Chain A
Amino acid sequence: MAGLALPSRRVEAWKYSDLARALPGVSLPANADAARVIDALAGGVETLTVSAGESAMVVERFDASGLQARALAAHVQSGATLTRVVVQTESDGVPLGAARVTLEAGASFRQFIYAEGARLARFETEVTVGGEKCRVELDGVYLVNGGRHADLTSQVLHAVPGGETRQLVKGAVRHGGRGVFQGKILVAGGAQKTDARQNHHALLLEDGAEVFAKPELEIHADDVQCAHGNTVGGLDAEALFYIRQRGIPESAARALLVEAFLTEAVSAYLPETLSAEVVARIRAWLGAAT
């Protein structure tokens, strides 16, 4: 039976992450849902329900070589909180993660993704705010070396009024690396008083580094506060000069600036041990380069 081909650049959602090229010879079952490629590759979806008022945390680690796909469907009941942390360290593999999260009234979903990229790494997050007074925090840091690729793709659907989304993703990319950020905030008709802020900021540390960003707002209600900001560029030359003028060598000055830039996105809700690990990894990554 002929399988379904993996998406290539020609598919809008995979425009910057050519999965067909990263996984030659791999195809999906013919009956697979083309919109849920990762689910199909994972061969099943883990499910999780966080009961009303409870708090739960999941930590997913991606460090294997070869294809590593995982799909999670979580339901967060009213007043409950789910925290998801993804740690992906550099590998020659193809790590793929998908999380679909639905929220009931007053629920919170907090997510932090740390990605160092791989042959192709992609993390998809899809959140549906299905009850009033929900809060969504989607944060992430990606650090991409030459020959590596990291893709953070997300969609937050505000289906009901009064939800709040805060998203902050920061990235740093070196020569030959590629960072991808695709973030969509969708406010359905009637989802009044939605308050959504999305920010993505990326640093190109060397020529030949690539960042592709597509921050997207789709708004069908008028009484909302929605904004996004997106910046991509090199390190601020003035700041660099200022620090060097104080006697700090250029490489250290760079590391200092980049670290400050990145750690802003390391969320406060991370448990101590995880945030310490992430900061240590950022430092190691920076140190290894300069």
Chain B
Amino acid sequence: MAKEGIDLATVDAVRGLEAEKYAAGFSTDIEQEFAPKGLNEDTVRFISAKKEEPQWLLDWRLDAFARWKTMDEPTWAMVRYPAIDYQDATYYAAPKNAAKYKSLDEVDPEILETYKKLGIPLREQETLLGVEGAPRVAVDAVFDSVSVLTTFKKELAAVGVIFCSISEAVREHPELVRKYLGTVVPTTDNFFATLNSAIFSDGSFVYVPPGVRCPMELSTYFRMNAQGSGQFERTLIIIDKGGYVSYLEGCTAPMRDENQLHAAVVELVALEDAEIKYSTVQNWWPGDAEGKGGVYNFVTKRGDCRGDRAKISWTQVETGSAITWKYPSCILRGDDSSGEFYSIAITNGRQQADTGTKMIHLGRNTKSRIISKGISAGRAQNTYRGLVSIHAKAANARNFTQCDSLLIGDRCGAHTVPYVEARNASAKLEHEATTTKLSEDQLFYMRQRGIPEEEAVALLVNGFVRDVLQQLPMEFAVEAQKLVAVSLEGSVG
């Protein structure tokens, strides 16, 4: 499909608005196995025991937990929410018959039904079902904390790519996990990352050996399900010298009353000449019209370009969650390494998003590029917060940052808080930011051509975010474009 197809898909998406809006708002009934409510050392031990972890990992978790108890929840972000009672949540929930499937036929049909309702694209479903000729996208589905199915393992194994749940990686590849876990986001990093280190339930693990281009896009669908159980994913991706991977992460969450805490950690390691493309479409439940019941999303994502000429690219489409606190970052350690951050953050209703990136230039000739598109509608608050830091040794470092905000309606807010720290005279940093409203003139022009208002808004907004959409893999881009339209429904008129 040509890129043009994306724009057409918007139009279809707008037609499907009514049907789609609450597509993610249902709850699947599956027997759960819960950790006892509350958070203490025993919780940590319970989770570790449940996953039959080695002693070193339990100690690692306990260290993190001890540290966490001394930390304060950060307050610098532009998000307001009632205090979280960390003792009033469950920290582990797993489908009882987890990890026992040999083939998809054995998967609880209700799980498959869930994927269907979530609108996982047909092609993706075919892939999931192993239909011949289907696109080769491997899906590691995390269903409430425990991976229940992983496909294409064999084909990946043939080229030496490891793609599995992190629990499995701990068992099967402990040397890799031990070597890299916590080296990009240390257990002491920040309140939420430290919490995650103590109690992470599951997540994905990827290893691509030297010189290997991962033969397919790797994709993970996250989905929260159990009442009152937070989700603490831990993802670790290591691309060895000269390797390449494109990783897709997408999520939706069911409608619910209680706030759901989500504190994921993603660590990326790119060695010499390695490249990682990490794409996210985030559509957690944003809460009702009053903002009640939405997901709190406190995520720490960081990539380390550890070798020369390594490249890490983050692309995110953030449309969900009541609270988003997220700064996918790049440490540009290797000489000539580069980092990219492309972001669309849409907030509507009472949503609050404080998101951006950090580009830490340590090596020579390092490059970074930041394109952020924030859209705020309803009574939402949308903040871009970023840091570009050029260290003294980062000769010839380059950064370009463009932050555009679009306001729809006069009760929302759009904020831009870029930090720039430069310590090298041969570096060049450029930052531009604009804030505009949806143009009445453009809307009228489009309506004069016969395009209804809502559709015109969707087209204009998709135009506004186009630079970023184009960074997404094609299937994802089409989905993301739909999301953009759906997220802004009812914001005009």
A and B touch in the complex (CB under 8 A): yes
Q: How many contacts A-B (CB < 8 Å)?
A: 121
CB distance from B432 to the nearest CB of A (A): 5
C-alpha gap A208/B412 in the complex (Å): 42
C-alpha gap A139/B405 in the complex (Å): 25
Say yes or no: is B183 at the interface (Cβ < 8 Å to chain A): no
Say yes or no: is A207 at the interface (Cβ < 8 Å to chain B): yes
A229 and B431 within 8 A (CB)? yes
The residue that A223 contacts in the complex, of B410, B426, B434, with Cβ under 8 A, is: B410
Whether A219 touches B427, Cβ cut-off 8 Å, given contacts A204-B422, A214-B418, A232-B422, is no
A232 and B434 within 8 A (CB)? no
CB distance from B437 to the nearest CB of A (A): 4
| Residues of B with C-beta under 8 A to A272 | none
Main secondary structure of the interface of B (DSSP, over half): strand
B390-429 vs A, CB cutoff 8 Å, 1 = contact: the mask equals 0010010000000001011111111111111111111111
Say yes or no: is B106 at the interface (Cβ < 8 Å to chain A): no
| Residues of A with C-beta under 8 A to B429 | 230-233
C-alpha gap A41/B401 in the complex (Å): 38
| Residues of A with C-beta under 8 A to B409 | 222
Say yes or no: is A192 at the interface (Cβ < 8 Å to chain B): yes
Whether A211 touches B420, Cβ cut-off 8 Å, given contacts A227-B433, A227-B434, is yes
Interface residue ranges of A216-234 to B (CB < 8 Å): 216-234
A192-203 vs B, CB cutoff 8 Å, 1 = contact: the mask equals 100000000010
Say yes or no: is B73 at the interface (Cβ < 8 Å to chain A): no
Say yes or no: is B132 at the interface (Cβ < 8 Å to chain A): no
Say yes or no: is B430 at the interface (Cβ < 8 Å to chain A): yes
A230 and B435 within 8 A (CB)? no
| Residues of A with C-beta under 8 A to B411 | 189
Say yes or no: is B442 at the interface (Cβ < 8 Å to chain A): no
| Residues of A with C-beta under 8 A to B395 | 207
Query: Please, how many residues of chain B have a CB less than 8 angstroms from a CB on the other chain?
Result: 35
The residue that B423 contacts in the complex, of A210, A221, A222, A223, with Cβ under 8 A, is: A210
C-alpha gap A190/B392 in the complex (Å): 44
Whether A217 touches B425, Cβ cut-off 8 Å, given contacts A189-B410, A212-B420, A230-B418, is no
B435 and A224 within 8 A (CB)? yes
Whether A192 touches B410, Cβ cut-off 8 Å, given contacts A214-B418, A219-B405, is yes
Whether A230 touches B408, Cβ cut-off 8 Å, given contacts A207-B425, A208-B392, A217-B433, is no
A221 and B422 within 8 A (CB)? no
C-alpha gap A208/B427 in the complex (Å): 12
B422 and A208 within 8 A (CB)? no
B420 and A214 within 8 A (CB)? yes
Say yes or no: is A277 at the interface (Cβ < 8 Å to chain B): no
| Residues of A with C-beta under 8 A to B76 | 12
Closest B residue to A208 by beta carbon equals B392
Say yes or no: is B97 at the interface (Cβ < 8 Å to chain A): no
| Residues of A with C-beta under 8 A to B392 | 207-208
Whether A223 touches B437, Cβ cut-off 8 Å, given contacts A189-B410, A209-B425, A231-B431, is yes
B435 and A226 within 8 A (CB)? yes
Whether A226 touches B434, Cβ cut-off 8 Å, given contacts A192-B410, A207-B392, A217-B415, is yes
A211 and B435 within 8 A (CB)? no
B410 and A227 within 8 A (CB)? no
| Residues of A with C-beta under 8 A to B425 | 204-209, 233-234
Closest A residue to B385 by beta carbon equals A216
C-alpha gap A217/B374 in the complex (Å): 13
Whether A219 touches B407, Cβ cut-off 8 Å, given contacts A204-B427, A233-B427, A234-B427, is yes
A107-148 vs B, CB cutoff 8 Å, 1 = contact: the mask equals 000000000000000000000000000000000000000000
C-alpha gap A122/B405 in the complex (Å): 31
| Residues of B with C-beta under 8 A to A79 | none
Say yes or no: is B436 at the interface (Cβ < 8 Å to chain A): yes
| Residues of B with C-beta under 8 A to A190 | 410
| Residues of B with C-beta under 8 A to A189 | 410-411, 413
B407 and A222 within 8 A (CB)? yes
| Residues of A with C-beta under 8 A to B434 | 226-227
Closest A residue to B424 by beta carbon equals A207
A233 and B414 within 8 A (CB)? no
Question: What 7 A-B pairs have minimum CB-CB distances, sorted nearest first?
Answer: A233-B428, A222-B407, A204-B425, A230-B431, A222-B437, A213-B420, A226-B435
CB pairs A–B below 8 angstroms (20 shown): A189-B413, A192-B410, A206-B425, A207-B392, A207-B424, A210-B423, A212-B422, A217-B433, A217-B435, A220-B412, A221-B410, A223-B410, A224-B435, A227-B434, A228-B416, A228-B431, A229-B430, A232-B428, A234-B425, A234-B427
Q: What 5 new A-B contacts, CB under 8 Å, besides A213-B421, A221-B410?
A: A214-B419, A215-B431, A215-B433, A232-B420, A233-B428
